[in-house]
Amino acid sequence: MAGKRLRTANYSAEARARLGDAVTKAREAAGYQYRPPFVHAAKAAGIKLNVRSLELLEQGDPGVGQSILFAVGRALPGWTEDTPRVILEDGPIPPTENAGVPHLSLVDSASAAPPGPELRDDIERQLWAISALSEEERWSYIDQHRARQARRYGD
């Protein structure tokens, strides 16, 4: 693919699905169960990324371009800008077993949450710790998380 800009459209559906799966697993292993907190952390780290582009990439869409592929490569632990291309070309996928700590601007969620709000678990503490979000956005994500937990566990 030398001389061409990197695009997922230049690769097979199987290669795109392989990359999408690898991105999803790496994001989740890095401590970001959901896309929005990962994107906000990337933005806080100066990486241009948006939720819709990340979603398209993880779903194996053919319309993802070089800037998003490079951004995701910079944002994921153990990855580089070149990692998405390597994966698309059937190369090795970086291991995720040692990636349990958030890579971007999130710090230890237990120490990052300011005193005061009643935060019930690590996900809520991580969401609260995202400095790029306003307090209203933080509470919105926490409310969404609590609603999902209630549906999942019948609370």
Domain boundaries, the chain: 1-92, 107-155
Is pTM beyond 0.75? Reply is: no
C-alpha span between 88 and 15 (Å, rounded): 5
Position with higher pLDDT, 93 vs 100: 93
Is the Cα torsion angle 40, 46, 50, 56 positive or negative in sign? negative
The first and second tokens of residue 147, run together, are 């609603």
**C-alpha to C-alpha distance for 59 and 29, rounded to whole angstroms:** 18
Amino acid at 106: L
Q: Are 8 and 64 in contact (CB under 8 A)?
A: yes
Instruction: Encode pLDDT of 46-97 as tens digits.
Output: 889 999 999 999 999 999 999 999 999 999 988 999 999 999 999 999 987 5
Q: Could you tell me which residues come within 8 angstroms of residue 109 by beta carbon, excluding any fewer than 6 positions away?
A: 102, 122, 125, 126, 128, 129
* 1-92: CATH, from 3.30.310, 1.10.260, 1.10.10, 1.10.3110: 1.10.260
Residues 6+ apart with CB under 8 A from 154: none
> Alpha-carbon distance 152 to 7, whole Å?
37
Q: What is the pLDDT of residue 1?
A: 46
